[in-house]
Chain A
Amino acid sequence: AQSVTQLGSHVSVSEGALVLLRCNYSSSVPPYLFWYVQYPNQGLQLLLKYTSAATLVKGINGFEAEFKKSETSFHLTKPSAHMSDAAEYFCAVRDSGAGSYQLTFGKGTKLSVIP
């Protein structure tokens, strides 16, 4: 069974500081990994995804994430936080096996950006 653990339900950073949101996964087969962002009262927007190509993945809005198989991690980073980055971020995993399309999400990390 798949699972996703996001360390820290709430992270606060100063504007301009590094953003680091942590995600660890467990999966019995090679996974596909995703980061989504959710603004208040809205649906989820895809930030980036890892699907067994390059381990360093670049996404929208200056975010990137690195797949580390040895650490079973897929942490999300951004060099310099902007006020507009304040939102909730969800890490998700999906088995790469054929016929499996279900995403398993972590509980989310709420990012606050302090001016």
Chain B
Amino acid sequence: DTGVSQNPRHKITKRGQNVTFRCDPISEHNRLYWYRQTLGQGPEFLTYFQNEAQLEKSRLLSDRFSAERPKGSFSTLEIQRTEQGDSAMYLCASSAPGSGNTIYFGEGSWLTVV
């Protein structure tokens, strides 16, 4: 069990550029989640996958955001035309049926838009 892996850990980008983050969940975990955390706040839910199906999306996930999990394993979160307000830590998490409803988080990917 290597835990939830996210990369890159840090990304600095210019406003208007596109960025993509990758998440590798814990092996055998069929559920995968993306959260966003800004300074001084708790994480906010963005979206959730069960296998390759995206089952929930928050209103926070604007049209510039897209998440995929094509083969039900790793996931990507892409932000197009980044804005300074997108600066945050993007957290990925995963869980498995029968794990007692436990959601395991990765280390997060910090995005700074300049």
Contact = CB atoms under 8 A, between A and B. Distances in A.
A104 B45 contact: yes
A108 B42 contact: yes
Given A45-B105, A102-B45, A107 B100 contact: no
A47 B93 CA distance: 15
Nearest to B109: A43
A32 B43 contact: no
Given A42-B108, A43-B105, A106-B42, A101 B100 contact: no
Contacts of A102: 33, 45, 48, 56, 58
Contacts of B52: none
Categorize the interface residue count of chain A. Answer: 20 to 34
B101 A94 contact: yes
A41 B42 CA distance: 14
Interface in A22-37: 32, 34, 36
A49 B102 contact: yes
Contacts of B4: 43
Q: Which of A42, A45, A51, A103 has most B Cβ within 10 Å?
A: A103
Given A102-B48, A108-B41, A108-B42, A43 B101 contact: no
Nearest to A99: B55
Q: Which of B41, B48, B104, B105 has most A Cβ within 10 Å?
A: B105
A46 interface: yes
A101 B42 contact: no
Interface string A1-12: 000100001000
13 contacts: A36-B105, A43-B6, A43-B91, A46-B102, A51-B100, A90-B43, A101-B48, A101-B56, A102-B48, A104-B45, A105-B44, A106-B42, A108-B42
